[in-house]
Amino acid sequence: MSIFRTQYGLIFQDDFETLDTERWLLRSPSNAISHVPGQLTLNHTDTGRAVSAMFEIPAEETLVMQVYADYHPVVEGDAGGIVVWKNAMEKVEFLETLDSAT
């Protein structure tokens, strides 16, 4: 994941060669997260708990994010992707879900 300032240059780029636990807040059962250099994987659990990795983004007027998310839902009701929260009431979701019509 990469976040860039439009005027001031790179803020940070995370390619997950290492897992920066000071930046990332992992809100998942420990057995749902796996990390190998270059890849962070969050796996669905049967507990019903959400599996997530979160970090604070800068309070910028304009923000561009590039995310590669490889998710293939297999159970109806599952969703995976990215959620960007502005506050408790406002968010933007880019989620993959299973298309039950196919």
pTM for the model: 0.62
Q: Is 100 left (phi over 0), alpha (psi -120 to 50) or beta?
A: alpha
Closest to 78 measured CA to CA, from 40, 41, 51, 39: 51
The rounded distance, in Å, linking the Cα atoms of 19 and 37 is 8
Q: How confident is the model at residue 81 (pLDDT cuts 50, 70, 90)?
A: confident
For residue 66, list its beta bridge partners. 2
Q: Is the distance from CB of 41 to CB of 29 less than 8 angstroms?
A: no
Euclidean distance between CA atoms 23 and 21, whole angstroms: 5
Residue 72 has pLDDT above 70, yes or no: yes
Task: Give the model's pLDDT for residue 71.
Answer: 78
Tens of pLDDT, residue by residue over 34-68, are 888 988 888 776 766 777 888 887 777 777 777 77
Task: Tell me how far the alpha carbon of residue 13 is from its chain's centroid.
Answer: 14
Of 48 and 69, the one with more pLDDT: 69
3 pLDDT tier (thresholds 50, 70, 90): low
